[in-house]
């Protein structure tokens, strides 16, 4: 399977713990995005990378969230000191920048439950 891969698919954690998620994009894609989605809402942008450079972070993203894409390939999203409000589906998407806009390819997501 050569699509976007996310790991783990599900994560249950206690409030205050740190969690880290991984995303492996489609190999030739240079853009990688992280979104968060809660029930009944559309995906909400968190941050994105072009190759290894982080180009933008949402103003909604607190300092407890950090993302990396160390060699321009896979990416990790870490949430420190998790709160119940962090419970959501975390989606990763990748795309290939080109003239005329580009569709995003999404992974299956990591569902986080903070108890």
Q: Minimum distance from CB of 49 to another protein (Å)?
A: 11
Q: Report the site for another protein in 39-98 (rule: CB under 8 A).
A: 40-45, 48, 56, 91, 93, 95, 97-98
**How far is residue 41's CA from residue 55's CA, in Å, rounded to a whole number?**
25
**How far is residue 55's CA from residue 87's CA, in Å, rounded to a whole number?**
25
Q: Minimum distance from CB of 14 to another protein (Å)?
A: 23
Pick the stretch among 14-22, 37-45, 67-75, 76-84 that binds another protein (CB under 8 A): 37-45
Q: Which of 61, 79, 69 is nearest to 20 (CA)?
A: 79
């Amino acid at each position: 399977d050569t699509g976007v891969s996310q790991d783990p698919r599900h994560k249950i954690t206690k409030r205050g713990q740190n969690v880290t998620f991984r995303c492996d994009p489609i190999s030739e894609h240079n853009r990688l995005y992280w979104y968060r989605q809660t029930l009944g809402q559309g995906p909400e942008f968190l941050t994105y990378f072009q190759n290894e450079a982080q180009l933008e972070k949402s103003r909604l993203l607190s300092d407890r969230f950090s993302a990396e894409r160390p060699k321009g390939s896979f990416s990790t999203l870490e949430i420190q000191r998790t709160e119940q409000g962090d419970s959501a589906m975390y989606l990763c998407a990748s795309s290939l920048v080109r003239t005329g806009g580009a569709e995003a390819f999404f992974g299956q997501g990591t569902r986080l439950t903070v108890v």
